[in-house]
Amino acid sequence: MANAGNRELSKQEHDVIRRYLLDDLPLQEMERVEEQLLTDASYFEQFSIAEDELIDAYVKGRLAGEERKKFSRHFLAVPGLRQDVNFAKALHQRAAEHERRMATAVPVRIQPVRDKSLFASLFQSPAIGSAMAAALVVAIGMGLWLNTQNRQLRDRIEQLQAQASPAPQAQDLEQRLAQARERENSLNAQLEQAKLERTQAEQKLNEALEQQRRQTGNRNINPTPIPAVLLALAGDRDSGEQNKLQKPTTRRINLQIDLPAKEYSSYSAELKTVDGKRILTRNNLPLTTTANGSRVSFIVNTSLLPPGDYLLIVMGKDANGIKNLDTYPFRILR
Amino acid sequence: MEDFENLLGWLSPNREQAAIRYEDIRRRLIRIFMHRGCVVAEDLADETIERVTRKIKEVRKTYGPDDDPAPYFYKVSQFIYKEYRKRICEPVPPPPPEDEGDDDLEPQLDCLDRCLDTLAADDRELILAYYPSQERNIDGRKKLAERVGLSLNALRIKACRIRSALEDCVYECLKKQTNVK
């Protein structure tokens, strides 16, 4: 099977593929395309791209007239191809949502709402306004500074690694490397903390916006707040009752877990169904200090949580490796 | 079983490579049968491979060590297609009119969310950014290509590969959901 690498198709080849996809080629030419599909990996890849692009054009309403009819006749009649069309619709929907989120993400951080009167009225409340503005500015500034520091350190580590050789200075270099790594770890932890503070500041802002929205009846304020739920540990007297959650009505939910103290360099968590089916894993969970210890947050898409029983397993990582810390069972009610 | 081992040996002396080529041929046969309008494309692809497997001893004798087995698979697939057409007396039902034919996308979206979560963060970001909603695809993609340090063609290929992996994942997820129901 030839593998010609990532070659681009000529316009003529492109047209032939398009006609094949619209079931518009004479048999002999069709067979030529098909044989090439089986024998030439690169051709197959370019064919797949052309196929995706044609499906996208249909989904986005850019196919018209006879071509659209041919497409419908060919693609919607075969379950496998129809599924490709549905997949493309779903992907475009999510991509559009992502685009909207990205477009509003910047204004939310720099200029929280577009509606100036609401923005002003929100910040007229001294308790909310000044605290949030300060927290956001500090958190964003710190995040940017730490990012820069981190990048510089990484560059430095790479330089040191590149220079490291079994020469006489090797031990010294290794020592410096270890120090640099230690400093990077410490900065990473600070960066995570800054990220968390920013998330919390944004969350407070969300809550305030939500409150404002309820008061004003305005439905156009973004972003939707992410409700937080504090999970109790398995075996706690009230964990069974506490961890029963109403079916979430938001797109995301923030599961929070209290830990005795920050004992590990980073925390991760795995979400499973009770019968052991893994749903997702998140590493480097944001950690915050509370009055009684520390708290980690785990934001999860609620479409992954239909009514049922789940386990959230929290793990800590240190120099000795990763250790399972605790399991937090919870139930999503119907 | 012995024939199947023989088939893998024909595809590549390296077992791992043979398995990859096997999957590759199967995937391409499925696409071909789908575009021939076959409702049971997967079954026909499997039937083709099974037919080749049954004849593997004789077939291998007629092929040199450097000959590509893929054209032989294609020849067999053409026979299978003709047999299928004879078996199927009824023409493929016409698709429902477009305005009535919109399928419920909820299961798709649900599975897509799960599958997006399994992607590496960079891949997830890339595939979602690759499809801007407006008619400025080319400009948007040029900028994206610059941002990720790829040529436009390399970006198209990368996006196509991620999409293909996502599609497989969603397909498997939907199959599981159907089985559960």
Test B32 with A38 for CB contact under 8 angstroms. yes
Do the beta carbons of residue A59 and residue A92 sit within 8 Å?
yes
Question: What burial class does residue A142 get, using C-beta atoms within 10 Å of its C-beta: 0-12 exposed, 13-18 middle, 19+ buried?
Answer: middle
- The tokens describing B156, both together, are 């198209």
Once rounded to an integer, what is the mean pLDDT over residues A91-105?
A: 83
pLDDT tier, B138 (very low <50, low <70, confident <90, very high otherwise): confident
Mutate to test the interface with A, among B160, B176, B181 (most CBs of A within 10 A): B160
Higher-confidence residue of B127 and B2: namely B127
What's the pLDDT score for residue A114? 38
pLDDT tier, B132 (very low <50, low <70, confident <90, very high otherwise): confident
Test B167 with A84 for CB contact under 8 angstroms. yes
CA B85 from centre of chain: 22
Prior bond to B132 cis, omega within 30? Answer: no
- In tens, the pLDDT along A126-148 reads 555 555 555 555 555 665 665 66
High-pLDDT (> 70) share of chain A, %: 58
Say yes or no: B32 contacts chain A, CB-CB below 8 A.
Answer: yes
Question: Is residue B27's pLDDT more than 90?
Answer: yes
Do the beta carbons of residue A8 and residue A45 sit within 8 Å?
no
Q: How many CA atoms lie within 13 Å of A307's alpha carbon, on the beta-carbon side?
A: 4
Mutate to test the interface with B, among A8, A78, A92, A278 (most CBs of B within 10 A): A78
> Could you tell me the strand order of the sheet in which A308-318 lies?
A244-245, A321-332, A308-318, A266-273, A278-282
- Find the range with the poorest average confidence among A107-116, A272-281, B169-178: A107-116
Question: Is residue A109's pLDDT more than 60?
Answer: no
- The overall average pLDDT reported for chain B is 86
Domain A228-332 has CATH 3.20.80.10: no
Say yes or no: A101 contacts chain B, CB-CB below 8 A.
Answer: no
- In tens, the pLDDT along A193-249 reads 665 666 566 566 656 655 555 554 444 434 445 677 778 765 555 555 668 888 777
DSSP A250-292: SSEEEEEEEESS--SSEEEEEEEETT--EEEEE-S--EEEETT
Once rounded to an integer, what is the mean pLDDT over residues B146-173?
A: 91
Q: What is the pTM of this model?
A: 0.55
Question: What burial class does residue B40 get, using C-beta atoms within 10 Å of its C-beta: 0-12 exposed, 13-18 middle, 19+ buried?
Answer: middle
Shortest CB distance from A90 goes to which of B105, B133, B153? B105
Angle at A243 between CA A279 and CA A194, to 5 degrees: 70
Test B108 with A77 for CB contact under 8 angstroms. no
What's the pLDDT score for residue A324? 82
Shortest CB distance from B71 goes to which of A35, A77, A78? A35
Using a CB-CB distance cutoff of 8 angstroms, which residues of chain A are in contact with residue B42? 80
Using a CB-CB distance cutoff of 8 angstroms, which residues of chain B are in contact with residue A24? none
- The overall average pLDDT reported for chain A is 72
Once rounded to an integer, what is the mean pLDDT over residues A301-315?
A: 84
Say yes or no: A37 contacts chain B, CB-CB below 8 A.
Answer: yes
- The tokens describing A47, both together, are 């064919």
Integer angstrom CA distances of residue B102 from A53, A221, B37, B109 = 20, 31, 20, 14
- In tens, the pLDDT along B76-120 reads 999 999 999 888 755 555 555 554 456 778 889 999 999 999 999
Give how far B1 is from chain A: nearest CA, Å.
24
Quick check: helix, strand or coil at residue A109?
A: helix
Test B74 with A1 for CB contact under 8 angstroms. no
CA A88 from centre of chain: 20
Tell me how many helices (H) and strands (E) chain B has: 9, 0
Quick check: helix, strand or coil at residue A70?
A: helix
- Find the range with the poorest average confidence among A186-190, B53-57, B96-100, B143-147: B96-100
Do the beta carbons of residue A194 and residue A146 sit within 8 Å?
yes
Do the beta carbons of residue A306 and residue A280 sit within 8 Å?
no
Test A77 with B94 for CB contact under 8 angstroms. yes
Question: Is residue A332's pLDDT more than 60?
Answer: yes
What's the pLDDT score for residue A148? 60
- In tens, the pLDDT along A21-69 reads 999 999 999 999 999 999 998 999 999 999 999 999 999 888 989 999 9
DSSP state of A223: S
